[in-house]
Amino acid sequence: MSESTVVASGASRPLAALSSSLPRIAVRILGLMVVDAFAVYLFLLLAGDGIWFFAGAIAVVTIMVNVINLSERMYPLRWMSPAFTVIAMMVLYPLLFTVYTAFTNYSDGHLLSKVQSIKRITQDTYLPEGGSTYLWTGFRSDSGDILLWLTSVEGQSFLALPDEPLQEITGGEEGIGALDEDGIPQSIEGYTRMEMRDILPVLDSELALLEFGEPPQTFKISTIREAAQLQPIYAFDEDLNALIDQRDGVVYYADEEEGFFTSADGQSLNPGYQVTVGLANFTRLFNSPALRGPFVQVFIWTIVFAFLSVLLNFAMGLFLAIVLNDPIVKGRKFIRTLLILPYAIPGVLGILIWRGMLNPHLGVITTNLETLFGFAPPWFTDQWWAKTGIMMVNLWLGFPYMMLICSGALQSIPQDIYEAADVDGAGIWKKFWAITLPLLLVSVGPLLIAAFTFNFNNFTVIYTYNEGLPPIPGTPTPAGYTDILISYTYRLAFESGRGAQYSYAAAITIMIFLVVATITLFQYRFLGQWEEVSENV
């Protein structure tokens, strides 16, 4: 074979590889173009409404996806980019948005951005002095365009289209169908008359937003029968950064600290808008009477509730796992299946069932206790019985999970360790404390920490059981004996009579996170000590 033949053959290989990969490259580029087009549209839509945080997140994620898919050095990450996108938008973004929200005034009355607030306020209209009012009848084309037939008080008739001047109709016009007894055509060429059943579903969502005619003679539908020469009440002046009332000339300046458009006499326009308030929410939290009142009591109960929940659930789950792991027990699979049932039932339903069974008048548990012992425990009105009831319910909900993970962990402990312990004369309790528990905690320890974190914020069982009641008397802020920090936060942020205060709730959430993170670090340190013990077993 000649040298030229070898060179030609070698040169054809890269070309062949390139030609075979071209379809894949084309599909990848086409996919990125679709993703980028959608992302750009969404970014412009959000930026146009002033929602910069979400728009920024969309931009960052889109750039990340493009870099991963266009860079050959990041080829291993290419197939993981969809997962990165989901993680970024479903996990990281809510976390970052929560932190961001804590430094804003995001709450009822301040849900919109400034741009959205201006759009909403300038939608309010009024009928100026000398403005005309007409009776209207709607006509819709096959493409969805709307035309109005307007009738004045004097009996004149007009055709009105969006962004076009009114056309006065004198009768017998081409394209106008036969008139009914009210002088309104049954049809117009290219349009079908809208009946009441067609108008009602779209009156507020579509028809009321349209403007007919040409400035300055523009008309909007004001009622189900009337259209009027309406004008916006407020107009935004960019130079003044203010809204001006066109009826009386009152100027409402933008208050960038409070997030309202406010006049000189203190009157504000609703809705307000979001602004950054710095550490105001944290300052309010630390200066709140809530911290000087029941906070310490609520915090202690939160720690006790989370600790006891994990301890009791783990103890019950481990006990059942050990018992059902013994071959002597007959029907183990059937018993284990029955014990898993509470885990399969939705938690809210399980709690409501327990509420019914503990009902002071009709509950099966309460009535039987009263029959047997002559005493009906006040499960919902006494703080200690309420806490006992919550622990019972949470034990019923949580022990199946602990039983499952303990059953699996027990299978991983080598049996020869127990055989060696038997040779050394170790008893049941000695083997449990020196072998089973240390080795078990190595496997399930992180899950116990996760369970503690979950119960630290277990809003569902607290609020569904008794809404944190009974109330603690004489507190400066509403609180209950069974409230934990998350339910107490809910009271402060959403039941304080000021509406939903999302930014304040976010600030409290961050503080709770710091508390939980600190406790978790100590727990991991404790778990490390158990691992050292297990290494010596």
Q: What is the pLDDT of residue 171?
A: 62
Q: Which residues contact 343 (CB under 8 A, 6 or more apart)?
A: 397, 400, 401, 404
Going along the chain from its start, the domains and CATH numbers come out as 12-101 (1.20.58), 125-232 (2.40.430), 289-535 (1.10.3720.10)
Q: Which residues contact 317 (CB under 8 A, 6 or more apart)?
A: 398, 399, 400, 401, 402, 403, 404, 405, 406
Neighbours of 136 (CB within 10 A): 24
- The band of 383, judged by pLDDT with boundaries at 50, 70 and 90, is very high
Question: What letter does residue 218 receive in the DSSP assignment?
Answer: E
Report d(CA 213, CA 180) in Å as an integer. Answer: 25
For 234-298, the DSSP string reads EEEETTTTEEEETTT--EEEEETTTTEEE-TTS-EESS-B--B-TTHHHHHHHHSHHHHTTHHHH
Which of 399, 414, 227, 207 lies closest to 321, judged by CA?
A: 399
pLDDT tops 80 at residue 317: yes
Report d(CA 180, CA 248) in Å as an integer. Answer: 43
Which of 382, 379, 395 lies closest to 481, judged by CA?
A: 382
The amino acid occupying position 238 is: E
Report d(CA 314, CA 398) in Å as an integer. Answer: 8
11: tokens are: 């040169």
Neighbours of 241 (CB within 10 A): 12
- What are the two backbone dihedrals, phi and then psi, of residue 65, each rounded to the nearest 5 degrees? -65, -40
- Residue-wise pLDDT for 255-276, tens only, equals 998 999 999 998 999 899 999 9
For the segment 125-141, the average pLDDT, to the nearest whole number, is 85
Report d(CA 173, CA 195) in Å as an integer. Answer: 23
pLDDT tops 80 at residue 224: yes
Q: What is the pLDDT of residue 121?
A: 92
- The band of 9, judged by pLDDT with boundaries at 50, 70 and 90, is very low
pLDDT tops 90 at residue 85: no
b/e sequence 60-77, b meaning 16+ C-beta within 10 Å? ebbebbeebbeeeeeeee
- The band of 526, judged by pLDDT with boundaries at 50, 70 and 90, is low
- The band of 306, judged by pLDDT with boundaries at 50, 70 and 90, is very high
For the segment 92-117, the average pLDDT, to the nearest whole number, is 88
Report d(CA 101, CA 95) in Å as an integer. Answer: 10
pLDDT tops 50 at residue 7: no
Identify the weakest region by mean pLDDT among 267-271, 336-340, 350-354. 336-340
Helix (H) or strand (E) holding 467: none
Q: What is the pLDDT of residue 50?
A: 77
For the segment 139-156, the average pLDDT, to the nearest whole number, is 87
Q: Which position has the higher pLDDT, 325 or 319?
A: 319
- The band of 14, judged by pLDDT with boundaries at 50, 70 and 90, is low
Q: Which position has the higher pLDDT, 142 or 343?
A: 142
- The band of 216, judged by pLDDT with boundaries at 50, 70 and 90, is low
Q: For residue 86, how many C-alpha atoms fall within 13 Å in the half-sphere facing its CB?
A: 4
Q: What is the pLDDT of residue 345?
A: 83
- The band of 94, judged by pLDDT with boundaries at 50, 70 and 90, is confident
**What's the whole-number average pLDDT of the chain?**
83
pLDDT tops 80 at residue 11: no
The strand pairing partners of 112, in sequence order, are: 273
For the segment 70-84, the average pLDDT, to the nearest whole number, is 79
Question: What letter does residue 72 receive in the DSSP assignment?
Answer: G
**Sign of the CA dihedral 237, 256, 267, 118?**
positive
- Residue-wise pLDDT for 443-500, tens only, equals 888 888 889 889 988 999 999 999 888 998 887 777 899 999 889 888 877 776 667 8
* Cis previous bond, 232, omega within 30: no
Report d(CA 317, CA 400) in Å as an integer. Answer: 6
Which of 402, 427, 440, 405 lies closest to 527, judged by CA?
A: 440
Q: What is the pLDDT of residue 533?
A: 47
* Cis previous bond, 473, omega within 30: no
418 neighbors 435 (Cβ within 8 angstroms): yes
- The band of 397, judged by pLDDT with boundaries at 50, 70 and 90, is very high
Q: For residue 128, how many C-alpha atoms fall within 13 Å in the half-sphere facing its CB?
A: 16
Q: Which position has the higher pLDDT, 527 or 230?
A: 230
Task: Record the pTM.
Answer: 0.70
